[in-house]
Structure 1
Amino acid sequence: MQLSEHPAVVRLRAVLPVAGEIVWAAGSLWMSSTLLHNWPDPYGYWRDTDPFAYVLLALVYLPLVLRRRHPVAVLLNTGLWAGVYFTLGYYHVVAACGLATALYTVASACPRKVSVRSAAGALAVLLWGTRLAEPGVVPMSMAFVTVATVVCWVAGDGSRRLRELTRQLRLQQEEKARRAVAEERIRIARELHDVIAHHVSVISVQNGLASYVLSSDPPTARKALDTVGDSAREALTEMRRMLLVLREDGPLPGPEEDRGPVAGLAGLDELVRRVGAAGVPVGVRVTGTPYELPPGIDLCAYRAVQEALTNVIKHAPGARTTVQVHYGADEVRVRVGDDGSGRAPARAPAGPGGAAGQGLIGMRERATIYHGTVTAGPVPGGGFEVGLRIPVPRPGGEDAHAVRTRRR
């Protein structure tokens, strides 16, 4: 348990503010009473000090204990008894501090509309008290109490605004934290889907094939089981890499090679081989001059191909499939289409108005991060096609998204 959460510390934090208010009120009353008792009055400017003067000072200062709980009521009480004190002609300065403290509290705790009216009322009481000033200094006394009132109000209002800004900042930070958690959950779900769905689909198909030909064709069954083992190991490797990325604040165990390489289009041949072993013939066509893609874009393109081929395995096993990768000057385009042979029950269209599975949703989310677009849907003559287009920032130039944005 942290020290700040200890019950004794919690109780102490709750008691300290109350104790502070009591000390403040009692100390202010003591200093004011002492000043009233000791202030010289050789010319008889003020009424002689009597017990009632001390009673009025107590009525001015002691209620300040409740000033934070009931700021307006305390200010009204303080202003009332200070006005009575001034009207009776006692030495006026000693009562002014209590009224200033109450005004500051109202300005720091209440809306500006309330605090402005309170400041006007407090100023009126203080100006009434200045009539008791020594001859010749009344104008200066009036100017002083006016400036003091304005300063107390500005200080209190500034404290209120600072507290509101602090609260808004805290709320914004909490909202950012909630958004960050939601985004991280989506990212984890997307990574888990991309890592698991493909390999599990391959394992499921190959396991079914091995079970079917286990007795009649042992070599084929053995090959299928080998593919199952390879897919399981690759899934574990990608899972390990993903978990290490997600655990950024933890130590990286093991040597670098244990983390496994980050997936990208360089692993396209291995992906095609694995899908081909699952019974889906895949042809690959690369156009343009290949160049090194940024890691995020490379992974996004690879996941798009992986998800599209996984959908072929699930929905159109045995369909002839083509993967096209085009390296443009400022973009990379990927298309994965099948001819529709061996199609399972119809897939839901994934166009702008259609429903899409979690894989296509994740694909679109990845593409959006890099200002890319995804299209998916049936094609004329049968079959299904998934397309991805992502602008690629090149050294010494601008990416296509930036250029289009500037032209608008």
Structure 2
Amino acid sequence: MSPRIRGLLAFRAWLKARPQAADALFALGLLLVGLPQLFLEELPTGADYDHFRDPDVWSGLLVVVVTMSLTWRQRHPLPVLAFIIGGELVMAVAGYPPSVPDVVAFLIAVYSVAAHRGLAQSALGGLAGFVYFLVYLILLPVPTSLPVVVTDCALVVGVWVLGRNLRLRRAYFAELEDRAARLERARGTDARAARIEERSRIARELHDVVAHHVSVMTVQAGAARRIIDRDAGSAREAMSTIEEVGRTALSEMRRIVGVLRTDRDAEQAGRELAPQPGLGDLGELLDHVRETGLSVQLWIEGEARSPSPGVDVAAFRLIQEALTNTLKHAGPQARAWVRLYYGDRDLTVEIEDDGRGTATFMADSDDNPGHGLVGMYERVALYGGELRIGPRVGGGFGVRARFPLEA
């Protein structure tokens, strides 16, 4: 790009940022074109033109003042139109003939009222300008034919319509830009909400995986430590369970965190994005829990049906979290029961134990609820279910949740 074109573009940007300066330069250009014509062009001879005075310094000064008022046409269009009409009336009373600068300034003032003000003010300004122009043509001492009057009045109306259309067009484009900005903000808000929801889901999944498997590993490690001297075989079996559970935990963590990666190949993605566990994996979960020494029994009532995938995962994670809490707080001699009730439209899940850790569990939850209880409530509420958590009649603790089969 040449320096001249760059300079022109920079000057254009400067004028666009300073509309008042651009209007002042336009008025100066109009005067440079019109003033020489005003003083150099001679008036036609004849009795009709004897009423006009020859242009002089005062007429030139009036034309300059009227034309330069266009500098404020965008900020104060109605006052500028009134000022121009008043200036032209003064020149008409003084007997000066109309000139190109003041006529063009009047038309631009009518256009500015229509282009920069609402319908009420623009209609008022347009009507005032039209009436003034029509009366001025009729009272002009020069004979004017009807077609000329109609044509000149149509010019005033056309200028006003042009300004009004441009204002409506600007308003339309402004509305489109505002709508696009609102949609962009809404899209950003939705994206942030989706990220927050996804982070919360991942945090719940990680908590469920880590809490359950680490609890199993802790219990097995404690049991192995106590019996390693007198029963080395059982201690080795406990160590094997710890190893297996640790590998399972790492595998599940890799699968959960794998959804955050973007640069994995198809084979790796297939391994990391394996299906989430569901009620079909409940037997394996209970076997892991039983290996810790906790006695767990399972009852299934009603006609077993496959719930929706989300409910399937949520019910499994709820049972996993409840049994993890039982391992933590119920004590070494506790027993646990898991019941599944399949109704016509819903699935009820109950996890109860007869342990002595109710007070400890509730106290810990009040002080620092963490992800456990919060995750339970969020999972159940997410699929339109109901959850009740509290002490069990006769001792122990109970968790009861009801899920709609189709969430």
Q: TM-score, normalised by structure 1?
A: 0.73
The question of whether the paired residues in 1 share the 8 Å contact of 2:304 and 2:342 is answered with: yes
Paired letter, 2:380: A
Which of the residues 298, 301, 309 maps onto 1:284?
298
Matched length: 367
Match for residue 277 of structure 2?
Answer: 263
Q: Describe the shift of the 1:121–1:287 C-alpha distance in structure 2 as closer, same or farther (beyond 3 A).
A: same
Q: Rate the CA distance shift 1:136–1:83 in 2: closer, same or farther, 3 A.
A: closer
Q: Which residue of 1 aligns with 2:361?
A: 347
Contact 1:265 1:302 (8 Å CA) reproduced: yes
Q: 2:213 aligns with which of 199, 204, 212?
A: 199
Over aligned residues, Cα RMSD in angstroms?
Answer: 4.2
Closer, same or farther: CA 175–167 of 1 in aligned 2, 3 Å: same
Q: 2:68 maps to which residue? A: 59
Mapped contact 1:333–1:389 kept (Cα < 8 A): yes
Residue 406 of structure 1 is matched in structure 2 by: none
What is the SS of the residue equivalent to 1:215? Answer: coil
Aligned-partner residue type, residue 372 of structure 2 = G
One of 67, 78, 94 as aligned partner of 2:104: 94
Q: 1:185 corresponds to which residue?
A: 199
* Within-5 A mapping of 1:212-361: 212-247=226-261, 251-254=265-268, 256-257=270-271, 259-318=273-332, 319-339=334-354, 341-343=355-357, 345-348=359-362, 357-361=370-374
Counterparts in 2 of 1:169 and 1:53: CA distance versus 1, 3 Å: farther
Which residue is equivalent to 1:130? 133
Q: Deviations 1:57-104 (Å, cap 9, x if unpaired)? A: 76245567xxxxxx636x477546644554445445522565467557
SS in 1 for 2:395: coil
Q: CA deviation at 1:187?
A: 1.6
8 Å CA contact 2:69–2:80 kept in 1: the answer is yes
Match status 1:388 vs 2:401: yes
What is the CA distance between 1:317 and its match in structure 2? 3.1
For the structure 1 residues 90 and 250, does the alpha-carbon distance in structure 2 shift closer, same or farther, using more than 3 Å as the test? farther
Q: Which runs of 5+ in 1 are unaligned?
A: 1-12, 65-70, 108-114, 394-398, 400-408
Cα–Cα, structure 1 residues 257 and 146, in superposed 2: closer, same or farther, change >3 Å? closer
Residue deviations 1:225-260 (CA, integer Å, cap 9, x gap)? 112111111111111111223446854452734654
Which SS does the other structure have where 2:341 is aligned? strand
8 Å CA contact 2:213–2:245 kept in 1: the answer is: yes
Alpha-carbon distance in structure 1 between the residues aligned to 2:352 and 2:325: 11
Distance 1:146 1:20, change over 3 A: closer
Show CA shifts across 1:143-170 (max 9, x none).
Answer: 4455455445544544554454444434
Q: Deviations over 1:8-62 (max 9, x none)?
A: xxxxx99874344569647854775587578999787999887547744762455
Q: Is the 8 A contact 1:53 1:90 kept in 2?
A: no
- Give yes or no for contact 1:316–1:344 (8 Å, CA) kept in 2: yes
Equivalent in the alignment of 2:382: 369
**Aligned equivalents of 1:78, 1:310: Cα separation in 2:** 81
* Cα distance in 2, alignment partners of residues 72 and 289 from structure 1: 78
CA contact (8 A) 1:48 1:90 kept: no
For residue 378 of structure 1, the aligned residue among 382, 391, 395 is 391
Identity %: 29
Moved more, 144-153 or 378-387: 144-153
Of the two, which has the highest radius of gyration?
Answer: 2
* 1:117-152 Cα shifts (integer Å, max 9, x gaps): 764675476447625457633654564455455445
Q: CA deviation at 1:303?
A: 0.4
**Per the alignment, in what secondary structure is the counterpart of residue 377 of structure 1?**
strand
Choose 125-134 or 232-241, whichever is displaced more: 125-134
Give the match's secondary structure for 1:346: helix
Aligned partners of 1:218 and 1:47: how far apart in 2? 128
Instruction: State how far apart, in whole Å, the 2-side matches of 1:149 and 1:227 are.
Output: 84
- Give the whole-Å Cα distance in 2 for the aligned partners of 1:196 and 1:47: 101
- The answer to whether the 8 A contact 1:78-1:99 is kept is yes
- Cα distance change on mapping 1:207 and 1:337 into 2, 3 Å: same
What is the CA distance between 1:298 and its match in structure 2? 0.9
- CA deviation profile, 1:362-404 (whole Å, cap 9, x unmatched): 12212222211211111211111111211123xxxxx7xxxxx
SS at match of 1:136: helix
The CA distance in 1 between the partners of 2:378 and 2:105, in whole Å, is 67
Amino acid at match of 2:68: L
**Structure 2 residue identity aligned to 1:215:** D
SS at match of 1:72: coil
Going from structure 1 to structure 2, the CA distance change for 1:283 and 1:144 (only over 3 Å counts) comes to: same
More helix as a share of residues: 2
Judging changes above 3 Å, is the alpha-carbon distance between structure 1 residues 260 and 386 closer, same or farther for their aligned structure 2 residues?
same
For the residues of structure 2 that align with 1:123 and 1:35, how far apart are their CA atoms?
27
Structure 1 stretch displaced more, 202-211 or 139-148: 139-148
User: Could you tell me how far 1:215 is from its partner in structure 2?
Assistant: 2.3
- Report the TM-score, using the length of structure 2 for normalisation: 0.73
Amino acid aligned to 1:338: D
Task: Quote the offset at 1:347 in angstroms.
Answer: 2.6
